[in-house]
Amino acid sequence: MCSAKNESNVAASHWSARSIPGLGQLGDVIRIGRVVMMRGLGVVLSFLLTIVLSRTLGATGVGLFFFFNSALRLLAALVAFGLPQYNLRTVAALDAHGDHHQADIIAARSLWFVFFGGGLVMALTWMAAGPIAAIVLGDATLVPQLRAACLCAVAFAMLRVRCEALKSRGLPQTALLLEFALSPAALIVICVATWFVKLDLSLSAVLNCFIGATVVAVGLASLTWRQRSQELRLPLGHPEAHQPLERIPVRTLAVFLVWNLLNALAWAGPYMVLPRFASSGEIGLFGTAHRLIALPSIILVALGSYFAPRFSRCHAQGDIRTNRLQLRRSQLYAALAFLPLFAMFLFAPAELLSVFGPEFREAAPILRVLTIGATINALTGLAADFLNMTHHENYEATITGVSAVSLVVLTVVLGIPYGLMGAAIATTVAMAGRNVASFLLCQLVIRQEMRRAV
């Protein structure tokens, strides 16, 4: 019987070791497929939530929710202090060398730093929400949504830190489930339940439920991390436990912090400018098309959960050729995953948008324009992740900064005279320029490292 079991294991091993041209071994393809499917679950739930909120709150309510979500991401990027990317890169590199104890301590310190430091920053921001909404955003009525984002930002930042570490520990599916699927699922259940009992659900109630779901996700992520750490824990007295702890480089964190803020600004930038020349209903139209066009980025996030730790491990081991191969494969996977979306966005935008309600069909031209930038985003693959994981985060931060500033400036310049279409053109130009620049820089970095290796 044992012999039969061994033969079965050997057969499974040979089966998973089969290679698919351009994509790698079949086992890797299956693992990547599972990761993309898990992120796809989050996407489906996010769209279902948008549909449910559209039917519950209308275009104006959805526009305010999009503003809350954008402000949340920007504030969470601020109070994460660059620690999500640092944990993703450092935990993967330390685990590759067997330094699990040091990785555990760095991850724990990161979480507590976000809790206390981020809590202080958000308390000050909450108190200054009135002037920020009136002066910076030009709309004093946005104070409740801005304060709700302040309350949720610390928990969301902690969730990101913990989930990035889980990805490095070989649990990308669990991390994606907790980070992207749990909160939308909880809100959908609550909204549908209120329909059955015929209760009116206000925007403030929706935001409170979202905050509660995020806190629960942080708790579940921490429990999962603890269990995973116990599985990797070495016997007591192992020399690794007595190695000096690596000092967290402040300069690296500062670069990652700036990169996170600029990345959030690149996503939330239009929503920070749109209130100056667009109504809440128009913001809802733009936000729906913008969320659809974010699908290539979502696919890249899923692929990054698999490839980014590998970039870090290969770089730590000096394996440049494998890193180059992994980058090429990420491009191929991203292009294949985006192909059906490209067809829908280009040839049936109105029909796709009508799912959210008949009023959203007006956003079809916006969706077509945004598709151009999204296509370039998919074709360039995981260029940003590659640069960050191979200690070239300074270059990526510079590119992201130029892109974010260009986005805001172009949104003002084109948005005021041309409205939502101008904002769409600005978003497309900034998105395409950033991804092309990152990809070209990746090729330059790879060539330089290969010359040094020779």
What's the whole-number average pLDDT of the chain?
Answer: 83
> Looking at residue 346, what is its pLDDT?
86
* Residue type for position 187: L
Q: How confident is the model at residue 1 (pLDDT cuts 50, 70, 90)?
A: very low
- Do 361 and 353 contact (CB within 8 A), yes or no? yes
For residues 418-444, one letter each, b for 16 or more C-beta atoms within 10 angstroms of the residue's C-beta and e for the rest, the string is: ebbebbbbbbbbbbbbbbbbbbebbee
Residue carrying the six token digits 């600005």: 426
Of the candidates 300, 292, 404, 402, which has an alpha carbon nearest to the alpha carbon of residue 349? 292
Q: How far is 236 from 239, CA to CA, in rounded Å?
A: 9
Radius of gyration for the alpha carbons in the chain, expressed in angstroms and rounded: 22
Distance CA 252, CA 225 (A): 24
Residue 334 makes CB contacts below 8 A (sequence gap 6+) with: 296, 299, 300, 303, 378, 379, 381, 382
Confidence label for 8 from pLDDT (cuts 50, 70 and 90):
very low
For 219, residues 6+ apart whose C-beta sits below 8 A from its C-beta are none
Q: What angle do CA 250, 437, 365 make, to 5 degrees?
A: 115
Cβ distance 72 to 156 under 8 Å? Answer: yes
pLDDT at residue 15, rounded to an integer? 41
- The whole-number average pLDDT for the span 342-362 is 85
What 3-state DSSP class applies to 99? coil
> 18 or 254: whose pLDDT is higher?
254
Average pLDDT over residues 196-207: 85
Quick one: tokens of 327? Answer: 């980058």
User: pTM surpassing 0.75?
Assistant: no
pLDDT in tens, 235-266: 434 444 445 555 667 788 888 888 877 877 77
Q: 268-327 pLDDT, tens per residue? A: 778 778 877 888 788 888 888 887 887 777 777 788 888 888 888 888 888 888 888 888
Q: What's the rounded mean pLDDT across residues 138-156? A: 89
Residues 218/80, Cβ–Cβ less than 8 Å: no
What's the pLDDT at 245?
55
DSSP letters spanning 204-266: HHHHHHHHHHHHHHHHHHHHHHHHHHHHHPPPTT-GGGGSPPPPPPHHHHHHHHHHHHHHHHH
Tens digits of residue pLDDT in 353-365: 888 778 888 889 9
Q: What CA–CA distance (Å, rounded) separates 151 from 384?
A: 30
Which tokens sit at 14?
């040979």
* Confidence (pLDDT) at 454: 63
Distance from C-alpha of 150 to C-alpha of 384, rounded to nearest angstrom: 28
User: What pLDDT, on the 0 to 100 scale, is given for residue 19?
Assistant: 52
